[in-house]
Amino acid sequence: MLKRVHFPTSALPYLLVAPQIIITLVFFIWPASQAMYQSFLIEDAFGLGTEFVWFENFQILATDHHYLASFQRTAVFSVLVAALSMGFALILAGFAQRVVRGAMFYRTMLIWPYAVAPVLAGALWVFMFNPTLGIFPYFLEFAGITWNHYLNGTQAMALVILAAAWKQVAYNFLFYLAAMQSIPNSVIEAAAIDGAGPARRFWTIIFPLISPTTFFLLVINMVYAFFETFGIIHAVTQGGPGTSTTILVYKVFNDGFVGLDLGGSAAQSVVLMVLVIAMTVVQFRFVERKVAY
Amino acid sequence: MVENRPLTAFLTHLVLILGVIAIALPVWITFVASTHDALRMNQAPLPLWPGDYFLVNMKQTLFGSGLSGTESAPVWLMLLNSLAMALMISTGKIAISLLSAFAIVYFKFPFRMGFFWMIFITLMLPVEVRILPTFEVVANLGLLNSYWGLSIPLIASATATFMFRQVFLTVPDELLESARIDGAGPLRFFFDILLPLSRTNIAALFVILFIFGWNQYLWPLLITTDTSMTTIVMSIKQMLEAAEQSPQWNIIMTTALLAMIPPVFVVIAMQKLFVQGLTETDK
């Protein structure tokens, strides 16, 4: 942690950490504690006074079926986004690590969507699935499916999942590819000599060996689906139709900025904070294990 | 490859090419949309092959009034705003993280670990979970609608600090010893030895942070109300809303294309640094 040889104590180190610490205090710790404090308050109907109510906001949340439904929806959304993008990335990486000629080309062509902002990913997909003009609804019509994600909640959910997963494939692909390339060739060759074909080698050797990466990516993808997909939801469906795509992050924003329910929104923030902390702890415990592994 | 089977090799390339096509399809359709005129873009089925209006659309999007019937800043200004925000966020994050990592690794001072944990906590507080109170702080400081408001609240960085800490810990102690024998003070050591040694790490981190900064959405959406401060990424949403009344998909998709070209270019042009940065910061 600290160097064996270091500089003597002076005022300098305080000056060096000052910018980072001041920004952390002003824009992170203070607002977070404010959110925590506000989650204990309820504003009266006219916005004139506030009352300290301890955990009442949380009790309201726990019994609010809109909130519980949103929780469930977020779980479905994030599991599907993670499964879809990780599955797709795993298949592509499994094939890409076998390629010698053109490996660089494939990698470049598969990682660039990382740089596309979530809201842009949403815009591209909403354009492709535009009910009156889009390409996919046009073809789906032939299959007898009428596509209108402005009216059909399931279709809206499918659309945001597709857009969110599409953007994340690049990230998962890169990490899977790196993990597969770090497996010693001798292991693969030994299996091949014993008569295992490519598919069998993949499932019995490669896939188990990269399981730490799978776990790591699972956590990262859950965090991504929980928090970073706000832009996609906001651009594509605005939580609708009805509340069929209102995931937790969107609900915090909507209740706070549009509904102006400060206490309720703050309580939701606190719940989300607890979730992030849990995920970060899981992620860091995993990193420690990887070092030992 | 372990064995040489032409059929498996063929299958491998086939799957990969299909994957590349599936990944590129949304952007291809966007590109095609940016090469037709508004009239063609209002007839289903939409074209799948480029037309010849690309330059016209580009010119109208960049320097024209943009989407007709909306009050918005010209797109070239939005691109500049995005660039300024991305550069301020990335250089700001790198600068303050370098300094704090230097202090934490090379100095022994009271509350050192306290500061370290304070920085660590920021990992657990993404903007999304503290939207309202952070907005209030920025409003009270009078930073709404300014570049400072767009960038400063985002530049605290635990990941960058950890990464530089990791890099500094691998620097041999002998370097510091000899620097001190030669009479170099802490700042001299920092600028003449540590900075040059961590050059590639800084570059790799810069690539990642530039993309992070460019792609910010929720934050600029909250704190800019003045159209002259709009960033390109957030303008897409406003255009999509306007599209519900008067669809001008050629202009919207040209804007979308312009919004993604800079970060995608950075990834492709600096692929090696990008991969290094991504794997280093996300451990």
Does B99 contact A108 at a Cβ distance shorter than 8 Å?
Answer: no
pLDDT of res. B69:
55
d(CA B1, CA B11): 14
User: What's the complex ipTM?
Assistant: 0.87
- Conformational region of residue B157, where left means phi above 0, alpha means psi within -120 to 50, and beta covers everything else: beta
d(CA A283, CA A281): 5
Mark the ranges of chain A whose per-residue pLDDT is less than 50.
291-293
Q: Which of B1, B3, B4, B16 to mutate to test the interface with A (most CBs of A within 10 A)?
A: B16
Which pair of tokens denotes residue B64?
């024209």
Closest CA to A67 of A274, A248, A254, A276: A248
Length of chain A: 293
Residue A243 is classified by DSSP as T
pTM confidence score: 0.89
Does A230 contact B218 at a Cβ distance shorter than 8 Å?
Answer: yes
Size of interface A-B (CB pairs under 8 A): 290
Look-up of token digits 């469930």: A72
Residue B228 is classified by DSSP as G
pLDDT of res. B102:
92
Q: How far is B201 from chain A (nearest CA, A)?
A: 19
Which pair of tokens denotes residue B212?
């992070």
SS (H, E, C) A103-155: HHHHHHHHHHHHHCCHHHHHHHHHHHCCCCCCHHHHHHHHCCCCCCCCCCHHH
pLDDT of res. B70:
60
Closest CA to A171 of A95, A93, A114: A114
Contacts of B279 in chain A (CB under 8 A): 174-175, 178
Which pair of tokens denotes residue B78?
């939005």
pLDDT of res. A293:
36
Tell me the DSSP string of B161-211: HHHHHHHHHTS-HHHHHHHHHTT--HHHHIIIIIHHHTHHHHHHHHHHHHH
How far is the CA of A86 from the CAs of A135, A171, A221, B24, B175, in angstroms?
26, 9, 8, 17, 44
In this structure, are residues B57 and B250 in contact, taking their beta carbons and an 8 Å threshold? yes
Choose the closest CB to A13 out of B107, B217, B268.
B107
pLDDT of res. A292:
35
Mark the ranges of chain B whose per-residue pLDDT is less than 70.
1-2, 44, 65-71, 246-247, 282-283
pLDDT of res. B211:
92
pLDDT one-digit tens code per residue, B53-75: 777 777 777 777 656 556 677 88
Q: How far is B272 from chain A (nearest CA, A)?
A: 10
Q: Which of A112, A141, A150, A193 to mutate to test the interface with B (most CBs of B within 10 A)?
A: A112
